[in-house]
Structure 1
Amino acid sequence: MARRAIAAPPMLPGFSVVRPLGSGGFADVFLYEQDLPRRVVAVKVLSSDTVSPAVLRAFNAEADILARLSTHPSIVTIHLASIAADGRPYFVMEYCPDTLGARARRGPLPIAEALDAGVRIGGALESAHRAGLLHRDIKPSNLLVSSLGAPVLADFGIAAALTISGDTSLAMSVPWSAPEVLQEQTTGTVPSEVWSLAATIYTLLAGRSPFEVERRELNTRDQITRRVIAAKYVPTGRADVPPRLEQALATAMSKSPERRYATAHALAEELRWVQYELGLPPTTLEVAAPEWARAGGTIDLADERHRGEVVTVVKPDSRSAARERARLEAAEVDRDGLVIRDRRRGRNVAPALIGAGVAVVVLVGMAVVLRAIGVL
C-alpha cells in the first residue's frame, strides 16, 4: 500500500499542535500540548478516508472499553477519545518517546529486555481478551516505550474498527500476522494474537521479523506472505537464546492454531519459566481478574445497537468564537475602547472611575483651602 501524505492536524479545544510524530496506513499521530493540566500528549487521528458510520460506531464502542483497559500498566493510557470538528475520530494518549520496533531496527534487544516485554505485553493481551476485545495489529511498532522506560501496548480498537468496516487490508501487518489471517480465514482470534505476540518477541530478539531473509529483494510483501503461510520456523540464530525459548516461539507460531498456546497468559508464563532458568528475576504477570473483565459487561463491536451514529458537536470556528463571546460577555466597550461595565463583577466600571476622580478633586481642593488659612 502506497504511503500517504500526513494530513493537517485538527484544531482541538484545549490543545495546541506541536509537531507531527508519524503517519500510518489509516491514522496520523501528532504531538500536542495540553493547556490544563499542562503536559504533552500524543493524539492519534483517523484518516478521513477511513471514516464511515460503521467505523464511527465501532470507534465509540472501543473508547468505552479503552477507558477500562488503559488502567493496565502495560497498556498505553488514554486520556480522551472524541470526534474532531472535521469529523475525524481521535485519541488523546500519553506521549511515549520511543517504540520497541524502532529499537529493534537499531539492533537486537538484550534477551532480558525482550523477555520482560513479552511477559508484560502478554498480560496486557490476556486482560483485553478477558474483556472481549482483540487487538488485531500486534507488532513491534505498537509496543511503545513510556517516559519511565516501560513497554506499553498501543493502538487498541482502531484496527478492530477498520476490520468491522470491511477493509481488512488496512488492519493487517503481514510479517506479524498469523497464516489463517493472511489467508482470510479469520480477521482475528486469540490463537492468531498468540502468533503475533510470538512473532513480535522474535523480532525484538533477531532485529528482523521471523520470515525475512538477508537479501532485501526477497522480502517483498508477497514473498513474506508465502513464507508465513508455510509457517516453517527458523531459529533466531542467537547463541544466548536458550532452546526452551526457541521452542516456546516455535510452538506459538505453529501453523495449526490448535497447536499453539491456548492463551496469551500461557505464553507469558512460559516466558517467565525461561527467565527463571536464565537466572533472571521473573517479570510479574499482571492480568485483570475475571470480576474486572466482566464489569459493565463486554461490548460486541459488531453490534450496531450499542450506540447510534457518532457525530461531532464541535463547530469548526468554536475556539475563536468562544474566545470572542467570553470577551464580549466580560466587558462592554464604548467607541473609545473604555470599559464601562464589568459583567463578571456585576458593577458599572465607568461610574466608579468617575466617582473616584471627583473624590480626588475634592480632597485636593480642601487641602488648598486649609493651607491658605494656615491650618496646614
Structure 2
Amino acid sequence: MEGFQIIRWLSSDDTAAVYEAAGPRGRRLIYTVGHRPAEPAAEFSAWAERLRGVRHPHLAAVAAAGLTDDARPYVLCDTGSTTLAERLVHTPPGVNEVVRTTTAIADALDTAHAAGLRHGTVCPSTVVYAADGTPQLTGFDMCAPALVKTARPGLYTAPEADPGPPADVYALAATAYVALGGTLPYVGDPTDPALRLRGITELPGVPPELTGMLRTALNPDPVSRPSAALLRDALSTVEVPETVTTGALPVAVVGSDVRAVSSGMTTIIEAVTGEQPRIGREKSPPMPPGLAPTRPLPVAPPAPKPVRAKPVTSKPAKASGRRTGRRIGVAVVVLAVIAAGIGGVWLWRDQFAEATEGSSAIERVDFNAIEFTVPADNDRKVTLTGGSATSTNDDGRAESWTLTDGPVFADGNHNGDQDTAAIHLVLEVRGSKRSYVLLFTWDGRPKQAQQVVNGVCDVTDMRSAGPGIELDLVSANPFADCSALGKGDTRAETITVAMRGGFLMETAPHEGATSRCELAPGAETRAQDGDLPVRVAADAGAPELAEDIDSVTVFLPETAGQIQWHLARVTLADGTTTCGWVAAADL
C-alpha cells in the first residue's frame, strides 16, 4: 500500500501490539502485529486468507493480513471515526438506531460465520461507525490463531468457554440490550451461573417483541440461541418510534477488556481494566512485506490519559511579524473560543432548516451562512452563502471558500452541553488549496479565536474529544508551500487541541503550542538547553510547558531581528517532541 504510515502506538498485550496507521487519501487504519512468530504459520495464513476473502458493508475492510518477514502475524484493517462504546458514553444513539446497528452487525456475523470465521469479542468497543455513519464490526484478530487475546469474563462474553458463532450471537444481544439502556442481570458477577439464568427485563420505550428476541439470544444454552441470520431476520421486522432515546452510560458498563480498535478507545479500555498500558514495548513495529511506512513510529509513545466520562455531546500573534497565512499551499487550523473571541454574523439553523429538538444553542447555528475573520488577516471578513463564498485577498487575487466538513460539536466548558463547534473550510487561490478548521464556542453568540494551528498541509478528519477537538493532520514546515512538497517533506499526525487558561493549546499526545514545528531542512536554528522558558502561545501570559524538557531547537527566520517570539521544537525528557514558543528576549 503506497503511502502507508504508522501514526502512533496505541497499546500492547501479551500477544500483540496495536498501532494507529494511515493509508492513501487519509484512509484510517489499525495495525495489529504479534510479538512472536506464528506457530504453526500455516494455521494463521489460512485464517488470514479467509479474513481477506470476506466482504460485507458492515464488516471493517481488511487492507492486508498475513505474516511479516520475520513470520509475525499481522492484520491491517479499517477503523471508524468512533465506536459504539464512545457513543454510549458521550452521545447515545436512539433506540431505532440501536436496532438498525444490531441488525446490520447480525448480518455481518452471518457472512463471517459462513466463511468459517468467529469473532469472539463482539461488544460496544468493537462496533465502529464509518465517517458516513455506517456501523461496522472489527476486531477479528483477537480470536485469530497466534493473535488470541484471552478476554476476562464480562458483560459481553457468553457463559460457555468456546467462543463460536453462538457466543457471538450472545455477545451481540448483550451489546444491544445495554445500548438500549438495560442492565444485564449478571452485571454484579459475570462468572455466576445462577445470575446468567435470570432473564432480562422489559425496558421503557422498547417494544416487548424486541426484548423477547434479545432474551432468546441471551439463553445460557448455546444450542437454544438463534443463529445470526435468524436474529437479523427477526430484528428487521421491529418498528421503533424515532423519538425514543436512551441516556448516557458509564464507562464501566460499556467498556471491555479488548484491544483498541481506534485511537479513542485506549482510555476507555484502560479505565475498565485498571491497567496502565505497556509503554515502549516495541520502538518500531515489524512491517508487512511491501508496506514499508513513510515515517517511523515515535520512540516512546505517550500513555493515554484516564478517561473522564463526560458528555460529548487566527492569526499568529502580532509580535511574531510573520505572515505565514499568506503563503499559498499552507493549511491553517483556526479555533475560536470564549476568552479570545472575534464576533461575527451568524444565523439560527432553523431559519433555513428544521432544528433538532433539545439541541444546544450552538447546534442551531447555520454554519453554511457564518461570517468569519480570515486567518492571518484580522481586518478582512468573509460570509458564507450556502456553504461557499468568493472574495479578493490583499494581493488582488480572487479566492474561493468552501465548507467541506462539520460542524463537529464538543463540550468545551465541561457543563454537559454542546458549546463548541468546528468546521472545515478549504481556500482555493489560482489552483492552490489550503485547509482551515475554525472552532467556535458559545457565549450568547458564536466567537472565533485569534490563535492558529499552522504548518498543516491537510486536515483529513476532525472529531469530538471531550472538551476539545481531535484533528488528523498532514504537517509540514510552517513556512513551506505545501503544493511544492514531496511525501518525504510531510508527516501524518493526530493531535487534540483545547482551551486552557484562555489560550488555545495542544493537549494530546503532549501539551504544547498548536503551531506545528517541523523545521525546514537547512533552516537556521539555535539549540538551547531545557532551562529556557517555553510557552504554549506567543504571549507572555500564556502557560509554560509543564512537561520535563530536555532541549529546545529554536527556528530563526530571516526576519529574526524584527520579531519578539520564535517557534521552537521541544525535545522532552522521554525523547518525544512537542512545539512551543520562545520569547526573543529569553534567547
Once the two structures are TM-superposed, the CA of residue 241 in structure 1 deviates from its matched residue by 1.1
Instruction: Measure the CA separation in 2 of the matches of 1:40 and 1:89.
Output: 22
Once the two structures are TM-superposed, the CA of residue 31 in structure 1 deviates from its matched residue by 2.3
Once the two structures are TM-superposed, the CA of residue 14 in structure 1 deviates from its matched residue by 4.7
Once the two structures are TM-superposed, the CA of residue 87 in structure 1 deviates from its matched residue by 4.8
Check if 1:245 corresponds to 2:210. yes
User: CA-to-partner distance for each residue in 1:348-375, whole Å, 9 max, x for gaps?
Assistant: xxxxxxxxxxxxxxxxxxxxxxxxxxxx
Gap change, CA 1:140 and 1:23, over 3 Å in 2: farther
Once the two structures are TM-superposed, the CA of residue 23 in structure 1 deviates from its matched residue by 5.0
User: CA-to-partner distance for each residue in 1:225-253, whole Å, 9 max, x for gaps?
Assistant: 11576331232x63111111111111111
| Equivalent in the alignment of 2:199 | 233
**Which structure 1 residue ranges, 5 or more long, are not aligned?**
1-11, 182-186, 213-218, 281-310, 321-376
Equivalent residue runs for 1:90-239 within 5 Å = 90-106=74-90, 108-162=92-146, 170-171=150-151, 174-181=154-161, 187-206=162-181, 211-212=186-187, 219=188, 223-226=189-192, 230-235=196-201, 238-239=203-204
User: CA-to-partner distance for each residue in 1:81-109, whole Å, 9 max, x for gaps?
Assistant: 24345654322222312111222233653
User: CA-to-partner distance for each residue in 1:253-311, whole Å, 9 max, x for gaps?
Assistant: 112223221x1111111111223xx367xxxxxxxxxxxxxxxxxxxxxxxxxxxxxx9
Q: TM-score, normalised by structure 1?
A: 0.58
Instruction: Measure the CA separation in 2 of the matches of 1:120 and 1:251.
Output: 18
Decide whether the 8 Å contact of 1:105 with 1:208 is kept in 2.
no
Q: Equivalent of 2:51, from 66, 82, 91?
A: 66
Gap change, CA 1:65 and 1:228, over 3 Å in 2: farther
User: How many residue pairs are counted as aligned between the two chains?
Assistant: 252
Q: TM-score, normalised by structure 2?
A: 0.38
For 1:189, give the aligned amino acid. G
Decide whether the 8 Å contact of 1:27 with 1:45 is kept in 2.
yes
| Equivalent in the alignment of 2:5 | 16
| Equivalent in the alignment of 2:235 | 271
**Which structure 2 residue ranges, 5 or more long, are not aligned?**
243-285, 296-587
Give the number of the structure with larger relative contact order, counting CA–CA contacts within 8 Å between residues 6 or more apart: 1
Higher normalized helix content (fraction of residues):
1
1:134 alignment partner, SS class: coil
Once the two structures are TM-superposed, the CA of residue 160 in structure 1 deviates from its matched residue by 3.4
Once the two structures are TM-superposed, the CA of residue 199 in structure 1 deviates from its matched residue by 0.9
User: CA-to-partner distance for each residue in 1:104-149, whole Å, 9 max, x for gaps?
Assistant: 2336531111100111001001111112222122111111111211
Gap change, CA 1:318 and 1:136, over 3 Å in 2: closer
Decide whether the 8 Å contact of 2:51 with 2:117 is kept in 1.
no
Instruction: Measure the CA separation in 2 of the matches of 1:225 and 1:132.
Output: 28
Decide whether the 8 Å contact of 1:77 with 1:94 is kept in 2.
yes
| Equivalent in the alignment of 1:9 | none
Runs of 4 or more above 6 Å deviation = 317-320
Decide whether the 8 Å contact of 2:4 with 2:293 is kept in 1.
no
Decide whether the 8 Å contact of 1:179 with 1:229 is kept in 2.
no
